Amino acid sequence: MRVRKLTLAAMALAAGLSLTACQNDDGTDQSAAPPAASTASSSNGGSGSAGSDQEGGTDSADKTPDGTGGSGGTGGTGGTGGTDEDGKAAKCRTDELEFTAMDATIDGDTEGTVAVDLKNGGGRECTLTGYAGVDLKTNTGTLSARRTGEQATPVVLKDGENVTFGITYPINDTGGSGVRVTGLVVTPPNETKSVTLDWPGGASLPVSDSAGSPVKVGPMGSAGQGG
Protein backbone atom coordinates (compact mmCIF):
# COMPACT_ATOMS: atom_id res chain seq x y z
CA MET A 1 0.00 0.00 0.00
CA ARG A 2 2.80 2.37 0.84
CA VAL A 3 4.45 1.75 -2.51
CA ARG A 4 1.22 2.45 -4.38
CA LYS A 5 0.61 5.73 -2.56
CA LEU A 6 4.04 7.00 -3.43
CA THR A 7 3.53 6.01 -7.04
CA LEU A 8 0.21 7.87 -7.23
CA ALA A 9 1.78 10.94 -5.67
CA ALA A 10 4.61 10.89 -8.18
CA MET A 11 2.19 10.61 -11.06
CA ALA A 12 0.13 13.55 -9.79
CA LEU A 13 3.26 15.75 -9.53
CA ALA A 14 4.32 14.83 -13.06
CA ALA A 15 0.87 15.69 -14.42
CA GLY A 16 0.99 19.11 -12.76
CA LEU A 17 4.38 19.90 -14.29
CA SER A 18 3.16 18.81 -17.71
CA LEU A 19 0.13 21.09 -17.50
CA THR A 20 2.31 24.11 -16.60
CA ALA A 21 4.56 23.42 -19.56
CA CYS A 22 1.60 23.25 -21.94
CA GLN A 23 0.31 26.63 -20.78
CA ASN A 24 3.67 28.33 -21.66
CA ASP A 25 4.17 26.64 -25.02
CA ASP A 26 2.68 29.62 -27.02
CA GLY A 27 5.59 31.88 -25.87
CA THR A 28 3.32 34.63 -24.62
CA ASP A 29 4.04 36.19 -21.24
CA GLN A 30 0.67 37.58 -20.21
CA SER A 31 2.09 39.35 -17.19
CA ALA A 32 4.44 41.45 -19.39
CA ALA A 33 1.73 42.85 -21.71
CA PRO A 34 0.05 46.02 -20.28
CA PRO A 35 -3.75 46.23 -20.45
CA ALA A 36 -5.07 47.93 -23.59
CA ALA A 37 -6.91 50.56 -21.55
CA SER A 38 -3.73 51.49 -19.66
CA THR A 39 -1.79 51.96 -22.94
CA ALA A 40 -4.43 54.30 -24.38
CA SER A 41 -4.42 56.39 -21.20
CA SER A 42 -0.66 56.77 -21.37
CA SER A 43 -0.83 57.90 -24.99
CA ASN A 44 -3.43 60.59 -24.30
CA GLY A 45 -1.45 61.89 -21.36
CA GLY A 46 1.68 62.26 -23.48
CA SER A 47 -0.16 64.28 -26.08
CA GLY A 48 -1.53 66.65 -23.45
CA SER A 49 1.93 67.22 -22.01
CA ALA A 50 3.34 68.15 -25.42
CA GLY A 51 0.53 70.61 -25.96
CA SER A 52 1.29 72.37 -22.68
CA ASP A 53 4.96 72.75 -23.58
CA GLN A 54 4.10 74.22 -26.97
CA GLU A 55 1.74 76.78 -25.49
CA GLY A 56 4.32 77.78 -22.92
CA GLY A 57 6.93 78.36 -25.63
CA THR A 58 4.64 80.68 -27.60
CA ASP A 59 3.83 82.73 -24.52
CA SER A 60 7.49 83.13 -23.67
CA ALA A 61 8.34 84.33 -27.20
CA ASP A 62 5.73 87.08 -26.94
CA LYS A 63 7.23 88.52 -23.79
CA THR A 64 10.23 90.70 -23.08
CA PRO A 65 12.79 89.64 -20.44
CA ASP A 66 10.95 91.59 -17.74
CA GLY A 67 7.78 89.60 -18.36
CA THR A 68 5.81 92.34 -20.08
CA GLY A 69 4.42 92.13 -23.59
CA GLY A 70 6.86 92.96 -26.37
CA SER A 71 4.62 95.78 -27.58
CA GLY A 72 5.65 97.74 -24.48
CA GLY A 73 8.70 98.91 -26.39
CA THR A 74 6.60 101.59 -28.06
CA GLY A 75 7.25 103.69 -24.97
CA GLY A 76 10.49 104.76 -26.61
CA THR A 77 8.63 107.36 -28.61
CA GLY A 78 8.76 109.57 -25.51
CA GLY A 79 12.31 110.51 -26.49
CA THR A 80 11.27 112.57 -29.47
CA GLY A 81 13.68 115.52 -29.89
CA GLY A 82 12.48 119.11 -29.59
CA THR A 83 9.88 118.51 -26.86
CA ASP A 84 10.06 118.02 -23.11
CA GLU A 85 8.25 115.39 -21.03
CA ASP A 86 5.06 117.52 -21.07
CA GLY A 87 5.03 117.62 -24.87
CA LYS A 88 6.04 121.31 -24.98
CA ALA A 89 8.90 122.74 -27.03
CA ALA A 90 12.19 122.23 -25.18
CA LYS A 91 14.17 125.24 -24.01
CA CYS A 92 16.52 126.97 -26.43
CA ARG A 93 20.16 126.14 -25.88
CA THR A 94 22.91 128.72 -26.13
CA ASP A 95 24.59 126.87 -28.99
CA GLU A 96 21.34 126.90 -31.00
CA LEU A 97 20.96 130.70 -30.86
CA GLU A 98 22.48 133.48 -32.94
CA PHE A 99 23.05 136.68 -30.96
CA THR A 100 23.04 140.24 -32.26
CA ALA A 101 23.31 143.43 -30.18
CA MET A 102 22.42 146.85 -31.62
CA ASP A 103 22.03 150.41 -30.41
CA ALA A 104 18.31 151.21 -30.13
CA THR A 105 18.55 154.62 -28.44
CA ILE A 106 16.16 157.25 -29.81
CA ASP A 107 17.14 160.92 -29.81
CA GLY A 108 15.64 162.70 -26.85
CA ASP A 109 15.52 159.63 -24.62
CA THR A 110 16.77 160.13 -21.10
CA GLU A 111 18.22 156.62 -21.10
CA GLY A 112 20.23 154.70 -23.62
CA THR A 113 18.86 151.41 -25.03
CA VAL A 114 20.56 148.37 -26.47
CA ALA A 115 18.44 145.68 -28.14
CA VAL A 116 19.68 142.10 -28.12
CA ASP A 117 18.25 139.76 -30.74
CA LEU A 118 18.23 135.98 -30.31
CA LYS A 119 17.56 133.94 -33.44
CA ASN A 120 16.75 130.23 -33.36
CA GLY A 121 19.18 128.42 -35.63
CA GLY A 122 18.96 124.98 -34.03
CA GLY A 123 16.78 123.33 -36.66
CA ARG A 124 13.98 122.66 -34.18
CA GLU A 125 11.29 124.53 -32.28
CA CYS A 126 12.39 125.78 -28.85
CA THR A 127 11.21 128.00 -26.00
CA LEU A 128 12.71 131.00 -24.21
CA THR A 129 11.09 131.87 -20.90
CA GLY A 130 11.91 134.75 -18.58
CA TYR A 131 14.94 137.00 -18.48
CA ALA A 132 18.37 136.61 -19.96
CA GLY A 133 21.38 137.18 -17.76
CA VAL A 134 23.19 140.39 -18.74
CA ASP A 135 26.60 141.57 -17.55
CA LEU A 136 28.54 144.58 -18.76
CA LYS A 137 32.31 144.37 -18.80
CA THR A 138 33.81 147.66 -17.71
CA ASN A 139 37.23 149.06 -16.90
CA THR A 140 36.32 148.78 -13.22
CA GLY A 141 34.92 145.24 -13.28
CA THR A 142 31.71 143.42 -14.18
CA LEU A 143 28.37 145.20 -13.79
CA SER A 144 25.28 142.97 -13.68
CA ALA A 145 21.96 144.28 -14.99
CA ARG A 146 18.89 144.06 -12.80
CA ARG A 147 15.48 142.92 -14.01
CA THR A 148 12.75 145.43 -14.69
CA GLY A 149 10.12 143.24 -13.03
CA GLU A 150 7.85 143.05 -16.08
CA GLN A 151 5.87 139.84 -16.52
CA ALA A 152 7.80 137.28 -18.52
CA THR A 153 5.77 135.33 -21.08
CA PRO A 154 7.18 132.15 -22.67
CA VAL A 155 8.24 132.69 -26.28
CA VAL A 156 8.21 129.72 -28.65
CA LEU A 157 10.57 130.10 -31.58
CA LYS A 158 10.37 128.01 -34.71
CA ASP A 159 13.59 127.40 -36.57
CA GLY A 160 14.68 130.72 -38.10
CA GLU A 161 12.48 132.92 -35.87
CA ASN A 162 13.86 135.49 -33.44
CA VAL A 163 12.98 137.44 -30.31
CA THR A 164 14.48 140.65 -28.92
CA PHE A 165 14.87 142.00 -25.40
CA GLY A 166 16.04 145.41 -24.26
CA ILE A 167 18.78 146.72 -22.01
CA THR A 168 18.58 150.26 -20.66
CA TYR A 169 21.40 152.26 -19.09
CA PRO A 170 22.04 155.86 -17.98
CA ILE A 171 23.61 158.17 -20.57
CA ASN A 172 26.85 159.76 -19.50
CA ASP A 173 26.37 163.49 -20.09
CA THR A 174 28.49 164.63 -17.18
CA GLY A 175 31.44 165.57 -19.34
CA GLY A 176 33.67 163.16 -17.46
CA SER A 177 35.16 159.90 -18.68
CA GLY A 178 32.81 157.88 -16.51
CA VAL A 179 32.89 154.07 -16.45
CA ARG A 180 34.06 152.71 -19.77
CA VAL A 181 32.09 149.72 -21.17
CA THR A 182 34.24 147.14 -22.96
CA GLY A 183 31.86 144.25 -23.66
CA LEU A 184 28.44 142.65 -23.18
CA VAL A 185 27.91 139.13 -21.78
CA VAL A 186 24.53 137.45 -22.40
CA THR A 187 23.26 134.20 -20.92
CA PRO A 188 19.93 132.87 -22.31
CA PRO A 189 17.17 132.06 -19.79
CA ASN A 190 17.69 128.79 -17.88
CA GLU A 191 21.13 128.32 -19.41
CA THR A 192 24.64 128.49 -17.93
CA LYS A 193 26.66 129.01 -21.11
CA SER A 194 27.19 132.66 -22.06
CA VAL A 195 28.27 134.57 -25.16
CA THR A 196 30.29 137.78 -25.25
CA LEU A 197 29.31 140.52 -27.70
CA ASP A 198 30.61 143.94 -28.58
CA TRP A 199 28.85 146.71 -26.69
CA PRO A 200 27.00 148.88 -29.25
CA GLY A 201 25.72 151.53 -26.82
CA GLY A 202 27.31 154.59 -25.26
CA ALA A 203 31.01 154.27 -24.65
CA SER A 204 30.69 154.97 -20.95
CA LEU A 205 28.29 155.16 -18.02
CA PRO A 206 28.21 157.99 -15.51
CA VAL A 207 29.91 157.32 -12.21
CA SER A 208 27.31 156.76 -9.52
CA ASP A 209 27.47 156.42 -5.76
CA SER A 210 23.98 154.91 -5.61
CA ALA A 211 23.54 151.32 -4.44
CA GLY A 212 22.53 148.79 -7.02
CA SER A 213 23.11 148.61 -10.73
CA PRO A 214 21.91 151.45 -12.99
CA VAL A 215 21.63 148.95 -15.90
CA LYS A 216 18.29 147.21 -16.38
CA VAL A 217 17.18 144.27 -18.53
CA GLY A 218 13.66 143.47 -19.78
CA PRO A 219 12.13 140.02 -20.37
CA MET A 220 12.08 138.21 -23.70
CA GLY A 221 10.06 140.21 -26.24
CA SER A 222 10.41 143.50 -24.35
CA ALA A 223 12.07 145.16 -27.34
CA GLY A 224 9.77 143.73 -30.03
CA GLN A 225 9.83 140.40 -31.82
CA GLY A 226 10.64 139.69 -35.44
CA GLY A 227 10.02 136.70 -37.70
CB neighbours of residue 8 within 10 Å? 10
Q: Quote the pLDDT of residue 122.
A: 96
Looking at residue 98, its amino acid is: E
Alpha carbons 183 and 138: distance in angstroms, whole number: 7
Residue 116 buriedness (CB in 10 A; 0-12 / 13-18 / 19+) = buried
Alpha carbons 177 and 175: distance in angstroms, whole number: 7
CA atoms within 13 A on the CB side of 166: 15
Instruction: Look at 86 and 120; give whichever has higher pLDDT.
Output: 120
pLDDT digits (tens, 9 = 90+) for 149-195: 999 999 999 999 999 999 999 999 988 899 999 999 999 999 999 99
Reply yes or no on whether the pLDDT at 24 is more than 80.
no
> Rounded to two decimals, what is the model's pTM?
0.62
Q: Quote the pLDDT of residue 227.
A: 40
Reply yes or no on whether the pLDDT at 61 is more than 80.
no
pLDDT digits (tens, 9 = 90+) for 77-92: 333 346 655 667 999 9
Nearest C-alpha neighbor of 94 from the set 7, 191, 162: 191
**Percent of the residues in the chain that have a pLDDT greater than 70, as a whole number:** 60
Q: Quote the pLDDT of residue 175.
A: 86
149 φ/ψ angles, rounded to the nearest 5 degrees:
90, 0
